[in-house]
Chain A
Amino acid sequence: MASATKPQSTASGVFFEGETARNTRGLLRIIILCTIAATAVASRLFSVIRFESIIHEFDPWFNFRATKYLVQNGFYDFWDWFDDRTWHPLGRVTGGTLYPGLMVTSGAIWHALRAISLPVDIRNICVLLAPGFSGLTAFASYLLTSELSDSPSAGLLAAIFMGIAPGYISRSVAGSYDNEAIAIFLLVFTFYLWIKAVKEGSVMWGAFAALFYGYMVSAWGGYVFITNLLPLHAFVLICMGRFSPRLYVSYTTWYALGTLASMQIPFVGFLPIRSSEHMSALGVFGLLQLVGFTDYIRQQLPSKQFQLLLRTLVLVIFVVAFGLLVLLTVSGTIAPWTGRFYSLWDTGYAKIHIPIIASVSEHQPTAWPAFFFDLNMLIWLFPAGVYMCFRSLKDEQVFVVIYAVLASYFAGVMVRLMLTLTPVVCIAAAMALSQILDTFLVAGEPAEPIEAPSTKTNDAKDKTVPGIPEVLRSTKGPLVGIYSYMSKAMITGAVTCYLLLFVMHCTWVTSNAYSSPSVVLASRLPDGSQHIIDDYREAYYWLRQNTKPDAKVMSWWDYGYQIGGMADRPTLVDNNTWNNTHIATVGKAMSSREEVSYPIMRQHEVDYVLVVFGGLLGYSGDDINKFLWMIRIAEGIWPDEVKERDFFTSRGEYRVDDEAPPAMKNSLMYKMSYYNFDKLFPAGQAQDRVRGSRLPAQGPELSTVEEAFTSENWIVRIYKVKDLDNLGRSHQDAGAFEKGNKKKKAGKRKGARVLRVD
């Protein structure tokens, strides 16, 4: 990559002068950008090459299903879509509770390709959408960085960093058909338009920023980041005494149009004027009106004290508006902050109050190594880049500083927000690195100390900051420059090495960490060959082919979208998690004794129960490891019936072996996971490979459900819920009878009557 940027900085050669130079540079620039886009796309194709063109993970399966619905039924049906195949028996108003941007984008691409007689399968469009947009993201970060830096190479460096940084690749490999796939492009491009608008004070750029902001709102819930960042930028500029008519024009245009645009999305609706997250934008809008008016009055009435007046006014109004906001929130007019946002400020909040948010792994706080893993050398170039912004602090550099501070904080709080940090890290790192390259890559020997090319950047800086104190200028008297080829070569070589290492690291991370579809697992056999574990699809296709089309499948919510997408069967709960009580019901059914679970399952018309079990293979993401969250979520609704404490041993351990507490051993989840598992091993030798513990010699027995299907490696196990007993016995009694045991007090217990009450 370093070699790619060399022609830019050494453009002062013989062939690059005058009008030809500009053309040559422009052409080179376009070629380099195209190469970067191709690189960005290519590095995301590992998963397609290694596995196949398949949708990954969990959420993308829903997006894929929704896209298919959109393509088949048209836009208006999609808009009014009521989905009765999820959240049985409640259903979900899907059209009004999703961000439609992603589906509409791929639907539009599908129609466009058909219009030019290129009928491409919608699945392939969905799979390749994220890589395609990553190429655009690289281009957008080139534009943004070019606005921020004078250096010709900064934009290109930012583009290539953005193209291959693992922090962004993690959510945009081929098949990762999620909202983030297009949202990051929209984020960066909206910022570019905003910077452009502030720089030129143009209504047109402001309106474009608003349009792309609206597109962003339709695509990802993370739009709130923009909604708060732009007002903060405007507010900081006002507080720094940098209010200008340009700011007024750009901000008010963006806000007035952008808010209207965001309200067009049914899922957002009236939120922009109701919820606290959006109030800062409204507040700054009002503030700007006042400041603008004051500024106008000031022109009419020149007075030196006006600056002071302006600032006091800003402060007073800010305090008043903030007080009003608090008051309105307390009185309930404005919706209070949602749980996810509380957890942004207090990382412990979610764990205590909303286990369902804390249970998602991507909402956990970030571990330190993750920063280096995802951003490699960019993370230590990042502070240097921010420092460079301070050196020439114009309006747009202020934006980068604010963005850097906010995004660093949020990335530290939540793993998934690493995604919003990545663009600013790439930009700042590119600015720092381009400064180094511009200084050290100038091949020509400086003729005279006065015209030393190495000080060119310093001179440029002087021009942009006219108010630099005289003292500093005098200290610069002894002209500093790099003359020896030795030092130039050393620095350039070191930087090239770093860049090459960065590229290698990115490729390695992408290929090893982020290219697994997680629907299909890969493992290495002892001889080094690859072995594909395809249990999920095996089980889902079994469901698809062997059950009634309206057979309800109960599983933990993680698998809801996949069952809906791959098996096409109604589910009780899915990854949308809009109804905590319903999820808690499933959690209760899983964590209770069979006698308690069975009525719950009957009430919800459950036909099949699906559990994921990794004990045979050592697959750690299975349901027994997620079991504590089910218990916690169920306990949040029924504290009397489900108690987390009961599932630990007296010494506070979480065990599945002989010493497991009775609540654990009797829970439906435990029984379904380990049912018949001991038959695979010699007597008493059953071994759980995930927990690394030996299981009880006597395996659990099931009476209300029966095993229907177990996949090849036992990862997915499906159970059929038994119908009521023909003779009106409880299932326990019926089971005992089948085994030939004596019927004990069968006359007294009538299980069926208990059920009928429910």
Chain B
Amino acid sequence: MAPKKNAAAGANSQSTSSSTPATNTPVSNKPSSTSTASRNASTNPQDIATGIWENYVNNTPQRVKLIDTFMLFLVIVGGLQFLYCILAGNYPFNAFLSGFSATVGQFVLTASLRIQTNSANAADFKQLSHERAFADFVFGSMILHFFCVNFIN
């Protein structure tokens, strides 16, 4: 889901904004100097993607990166479970469902924690300290895993 999303976002912003190519071409100049319009369109999303990546690597605090790694891990685990379900069948459906929803639920809870502790969103969460956000996260996770364990049979 995520890569597709990324590409779509990149493509659209490329076609609408003319400023990004100008800033980005010096950085990644290697593809070709004789760039046609179509070629330009295919490289630039890539540039934007790398731009985002670099922006991310440089500007994200270490703690948030840790959270992101955990989220990535959850996505991978969830994807593996889904793949297993498609390939090997969904026989213990309860087990699959609770395993899968555990990853999904943990993912959204972690994403919520990440959003709440992000300083860019401080305006939205005025009364919420980071400690409170973490306590909420633990509370939500406990409920989530209680239900999962109860549902797994």
Contacts and interface: CB of A to CB of B under 8 A. Distances in A.
Interface of A: 200-204, 206-207, 210-211, 244-246, 248-249, 252-253, 255-257, 259-261, 263-264, 270, 273, 289-290, 292-294, 297, 299-301, 303, 305-306, 308-309, 313
Contact of A256 (B12, B104, B151): B104
A309 B147 CA distance: 38
Given A257-B140, A300-B52, A248 B16 contact: no
A253 B108 contact: yes
A307 B120 CA distance: 18
A606 to B, nearest CB: 40
Contacts of A253: 108-109, 112, 140
22 contacts: A200-B127, A200-B128, A203-B133, A204-B140, A206-B140, A245-B116, A245-B125, A246-B124, A248-B111, A249-B112, A252-B112, A253-B108, A256-B104, A257-B105, A257-B143, A257-B147, A260-B144, A261-B147, A264-B151, A292-B111, A301-B13, A301-B52
B43 interface: no
Contacts of B9: 294, 297, 301, 309
A260 B143 CA distance: 10
Contacts of B104: 256
Contacts of B8: 313
A297 B6 contact: yes
Contact of A207 (B16, B17, B140): B140
B140 to A, nearest CB: 5
Given A203-B136, A292-B111, A300-B56, A249 B116 contact: yes
Contacts of A270: 93, 97
Q: Which 3 pairs across A and B sit closest by C-beta, in order of nearness?
A: A203-B136, A256-B105, A252-B108
Contacts of B48: 301
Most buried by A among B93, B109, B143: B143
Main secondary structure of the interface of B (DSSP, over half): helix
Contacts, number: 118
Contacts of A255: 108
B139 A260 contact: no
Contact of B124 (A210, A245, A264): A245
Contacts of A305: 12-13, 16-17
A260 B112 contact: no
Nearest to A248: B115
Given A201-B128, A294-B5, 5 more contacts: A204-B136, A206-B140, A248-B111, A264-B150, A297-B9
Nearest to A211: B143
A301 B45 CA distance: 12
A194 to B, nearest CB: 15
Contact of B115 (A206, A245, A303, A313): A245
A203 B143 CA distance: 11
B82 interface: no
Interface in B100-153: 101, 104-105, 108-109, 111-113, 115-116, 118, 120-121, 124-125, 127-128, 133, 135-137, 139-140, 143-144, 147-148, 150-151
Contact of B151 (A201, A206, A263, A273): A263
B36 interface: no
Contacts of A248: 111-112, 115
Contact of B139 (A201, A204, A301, A303): A204
A743 to B, nearest CB: 66
A261 B145 CA distance: 11
Given A248-B112, A309-B9, A260 B140 contact: no
A257 B144 contact: yes
Contacts of B133: 203
A308 to B, nearest CB: 8
B115 A207 contact: no
Contacts of A308: 16
Contacts of A263: 97, 151
Contacts of B51: 301
A700 B148 CA distance: 63
Contacts of A256: 101, 104-105, 108-109, 144
Contacts of B101: 256, 259-260
Interface string B55-89: 11000000000000000000000000000000000
B111 A244 contact: no
B90 to A, nearest CB: 10
A297 B51 CA distance: 11
Contacts of A299: 120
Given A245-B115, A260-B105, A290-B1, A210 B143 contact: yes
A290 B9 CA distance: 11
B19 to A, nearest CB: 9
B22 to A, nearest CB: 14
B2 interface: yes
Contacts of B150: 264
A202 B151 contact: no
B14 to A, nearest CB: 10
Contacts of A260: 98, 101, 105, 144, 147-148, 151
B116 A201 contact: yes
A179 B130 CA distance: 41
A200 B143 CA distance: 20
Nearest to A206: B140
A306 B11 CA distance: 12
A292 B133 CA distance: 18
A350 to B, nearest CB: 32
Most buried by B among A206, A256, A273, A290: A256
B56 A201 contact: no
A260 B150 CA distance: 10
Contacts of B55: 300-301
A581 B112 CA distance: 50
A270 B97 CA distance: 9
B8 to A, nearest CB: 7
A50 B92 CA distance: 55
A187 to B, nearest CB: 21
A523 to B, nearest CB: 52
Contact of A293 (B2, B17, B56): B2
Contacts of A246: 124-125
A270 B101 CA distance: 13
Interface in B1-41: 1-2, 5-6, 8-9, 12-13, 16-17
A253 B17 CA distance: 35
B142 to A, nearest CB: 9
Contacts of A202: 128, 136
A211 B16 CA distance: 45
